[in-house]
Chains A and B, each alone.
Chain A
């Protein structure tokens, strides 16, 4: 289910989320044109902060990016009550307009440079801020107008509840767009998104609340002071993303040692990892499991290095079961020696095991990732990087003949779907 816009396919989820955000912004602009701008200095200060935060984006290992400072700033703007001892008067509509303008301005340089902008992520940020503002601003307005400020502990708790609820909505929407884009099961995507909330998400939410609370006394100084931990976190996150990328590149590069050594076909490890990831995503592996699967797939043939002479064509599928097992075990040993990739080593160790033995039930001790690698590896040994549909179908047929024990039928089915829509243009 995709719609075509400007040459790039948008999923329905992306269109709905982005459309909703656009609608919210348009309505807010409509309301705002009939009103005067209230507390303009505040709007300017927070607007600049949010725009700068959007500019200082941090790339994430999975290819997206995050803007912790912009999100925290926008949340704070939605939650500000008394500011430097004076009450504030601006409305939720103004919060939405200021946030949308600031975030758009902050992303302009990236748009101009042709860098990815992820409109759906921007849309979700606007929706989240709109939700928080729509609940909290009237609440605060009510307190301020009636002159009855609640007890001291109430505003922070109200803020935490509102932000948590909005974050929940955000996670639900993010999981929806992601599962539609990656063709992964919705629940897995939701689990990933909720898990992500506990990391930088808690820092964003609490920083937004803190700025709002502290600005009662500190005024505008609350912005820079409470941004410091977030800036530090962002810095670490950036370095984390770089080292993770390097890790990926290194394993990709070193996985080619079996190719230059003549042990495997050129591009074999890379294709097995790409196909394996596509299958794993569809079968509902979490992002952590996918990263492990990717690494294991890249290094699945490393055990062949211990062979004195390469297997003809590098196709382990043609080797005897005993040999395959020995190669898998040897490879797992090498990987286990890193001390850091135990899960990857386990996956590699089990890749030569059939998913079930005659007269026995399915062997549940074999990781799903290992079963995926077994199937995809066999497919690539048979079909290579070929794009001819005949050769691909032949390979799939051969796998199907061995579904009783060797190859897990659900994986073969899934692979058939993936292969049906995949082309390896840059193999």
Chain B
């Protein structure tokens, strides 16, 4: 990382200056050097500091070790609890402890964070007192739970959130030159609900504190475990997606020209689906279906896939078996239910001349109709052994020519409309179109070639049956 710009360093220096002043005043107040109204007993304040500051440090350090970004902090509830337990001065000192987080390498980061949390803790604490909030000792001494505390908790909670956001917007603006508006959006998006939880958690700690400080610290353990469980889940999900992706890449190594094809088909399918307003959980399934749509090609001999020159009927029949093999492979993955049909039928045509089942129009599942369009689109805009890539516009014209017969017009329209908002970036590695690859080739995905065999259903089935017999013979031996 580069050194921070001057303005950012000045900004941090200013915050640190403010925080130091607050901390000095806090120490004076706690030790009653200067009389300030509303400060607790020195002994109580020091006890609170002795328990909350280390707890805060541990909780923050745990956060820094997360490998998955989880937008749930455990240090904020402790900061909020600090002023409910022992007032704003203790909260400022607890927040300052953030300087000591060793996981943050850069001194400027640590200084900034320490200052940030000292200021947030102090200002929110003052707000809490101003709104009539009570310290935990006072709460315990009332015979009934003072409900008006909830107002003070809510108010100080909002103040903490806003002050925190302002400070973050400042540093991002100066250090990373991000526009203030986009920072505001990211800082506030989704921070309302967590802050509500932080406030309540802080209050719980404060309520328990009067009975026993140990109990107050225990409150954090279930929360930490809940976060840990979520993290486990998120990591496993990441591992899962990465695994599918790389295994599919392994499939693609069999055929250099289709490298990245599955990934792009998946992307184009998602574009179409989103444009049609599909629900997010179905979009997620469709994404998997798109990635896996050609996985059945593994069952097609490499020799056939890499052949340049015309395929015989038998070879073409072998290629045609790939949707079935793919569906067969993933059938055991329980959660991909809807994806099966998408994979099995992605080479069906509206006019019923596709394979493997010759379905027509509405009989073809929605996933399959989407993948069919995305598949053909990517096939045409990619370089193949026998031709260079077509432009996006040419490909769209070609899709349009085949709509109604081969493709679902609504899906084609959705793709056209989606591409108006989002330009298509082709991420494939460039492939040399070499000399040996001249001549006639069947591309099973490209709508402009390869009709000749598909039309002749009978011939095709014969060949396919022959291949099946061959295979079972091969297995038996």
Contacts and interface: CB of A to CB of B under 8 A. Distances in A.
Interface string A249-267: 1111110111011100010
Interface string B203-222: 01001100111110011011
B53 interface: no
A155 interface: yes
Contacts of B179: none
Contacts of B474: 262
B295 A257 contact: yes
B244 interface: yes
Contact of A225 (B140, B204, B302, B335): B204
A209 B254 contact: no
A246 interface: yes
A347 to B, nearest CB: 15
A244 B335 CA distance: 12
B239 A247 contact: yes
Contact of A153 (B213, B226, B235): B213
Nearest to B237: A243
Given A206-B218, A240-B236, A249-B334, A229 B226 contact: yes
Contacts of A3: none
A427 B224 CA distance: 43
A251 to B, nearest CB: 7
A203 B220 CA distance: 9
B218 A209 contact: yes
A126 interface: no
Given A156-B214, A213-B211, A213-B215, A203 B242 contact: no
A244 B218 CA distance: 30
B257 to A, nearest CB: 16
Contacts of B208: 210, 213-214
Nearest to B143: A85
B254 A252 contact: no
B250 A240 contact: no
A218 B214 CA distance: 17
A239 interface: yes
Interface string B324-351: 0100111111110000000000000000
Interface string A197-219: 00110110011011001101110
Nearest to A334: B250
Given A338-B242, A340-B242, A246 B333 contact: yes
A242 interface: yes
B228 interface: yes
B246 interface: yes
A68 B250 CA distance: 41
A144 B126 CA distance: 41
Contact of B222 (A206, A252, A258, A308): A206
A240 B228 CA distance: 11
Contact of B219 (A160, A210, A242): A210
Contacts of B302: 307-309
A214 B215 contact: yes
Given A233-B226, A249-B332, A217 B295 contact: no
B242 A156 contact: no
A338 B295 CA distance: 17
Contacts of B332: 249, 252-253
Contacts of B299: 257, 260-262
Contacts of A257: 247, 251, 295, 298-299, 329
B229 interface: yes
Contacts of A338: 239, 242-243, 245-247
A311 to B, nearest CB: 13
Contacts of B191: none
Contacts of A225: 204
Nearest to A234: B229
Nearest to B471: A262
B185 interface: no
Interface size class of A (residues with CB under 8 A): 35 or more
Contact of B328 (A254, A258, A260, A308): A260
Contact of B254 (A199, A262, A305, A340): A305
A226 interface: yes
Interface string A152-168: 11011100100000000
Contact of B215 (A199, A200, A210, A230): A210
A338 B247 CA distance: 8
Contact of B247 (A155, A209, A229, A334): A334
A43 to B, nearest CB: 24
A128 interface: no
Interface string A310-326: 00000000000000000
B226 A236 contact: yes
A257 B244 CA distance: 13
A302 interface: yes
Given A153-B214, A233-B226, A246-B334, A254 B240 contact: no
In this complex, the member of B225, B242, B331, B474 whose beta carbon has the largest number of chain A beta carbons within 10 angstroms is: B225
A164 to B, nearest CB: 13
A48 interface: no
Contacts of A302: 247, 250
A256 B334 CA distance: 16
B215 A305 contact: no
Contacts of B130: none
Nearest to A337: B246
A339 B67 CA distance: 13
B332 to A, nearest CB: 5
A375 interface: no
B218 A243 contact: no
A341 B298 contact: no
A334 B298 CA distance: 15
Interface of A: 152-153, 155-157, 160, 199-200, 202-203, 206-207, 209-210, 213-214, 216-218, 225-226, 229-230, 232-234, 236-237, 239-240, 242-247, 249-254, 256-258, 260-262, 266, 302, 305-309, 334-335, 337-341
Given A247-B239, A261-B298, A309-B301, 15 more contacts: A156-B214, A156-B218, A202-B225, A203-B221, A203-B222, A206-B218, A214-B208, A229-B226, A232-B226, A254-B295, A260-B329, A262-B471, A302-B247, A334-B249, A340-B239
Interface of B: 140, 204, 207-208, 211-215, 218-219, 221-223, 225-226, 228-230, 232-233, 235-240, 242-247, 249-251, 253-254, 295-296, 298-299, 301-303, 306, 325, 328-335, 471, 474-475
The 5 nearest A-B residue pairs measured at CB: A203-B225, A340-B239, A229-B222, A236-B229, A260-B299
